[in-house]
Amino acid sequence: MADMKVKDMKKGMNNISATLKVVSKEDERIVQTKYGTSRVCNALVEDESGRINLTLWRDQIDKVNVGDMIRIEGGFITEFRGQLNINVAKSGKIIVIKRGK
């Protein structure tokens, strides 16, 4: 599947594949979901066309670090407070292609 560029991502899209660089990562926090408590963390990712927020859940948080090149498969786009976010479905994957320095 061809990679999608950040500039082409729109709210409501799903099954997205993209190769992105992790620019920053916030501290994780605990949130209450309909499935119980869960760890969540926001990261900022980019490609040559732009930047987008990436929402990391549970073990995804430990997998991704600032500076890493990652490939997202099975991503979907949501909007929160006017900002687009890319999320990775349970059936999707985050693959670290290259570790950052």
In this structure, what CATH number is given to the domain that contains residue 44?
A: 2.40.50.140
Q: Is residue 56 part of a domain?
A: yes
CA distance 101 to 86: 24
1 falls within a domain: no
Could you give the percent of the chain with pLDDT greater than 70? 98
* Cα 71 versus chain centre, distance: 9
Q: Which of 31-35, 72-76, 94-98 has the lowest mean pLDDT?
A: 31-35
* Residue 1 in this model has a pLDDT that exceeds 90: no
User: Which helix (H) or strand (E) segment is 56 a member of?
Assistant: strand 50-57
Q: Which domain holds residue 27?
A: 6-98
In a domain, 73, yes or no: yes
The burial class, CB within 10 Å (0-12 / 13-18 / 19+), for 36 is: exposed
Q: Does some domain include residue 48?
A: yes
Spell out where 28-82 has E strands.
Answer: 29-33, 36-47, 50-57, 69-80
Whether residue 20 contacts residue 3, with contact meaning beta carbons closer than 8 Å, is answered with no
Length, in residues, of the chain: 101
Domain count for the chain, please give it.
1
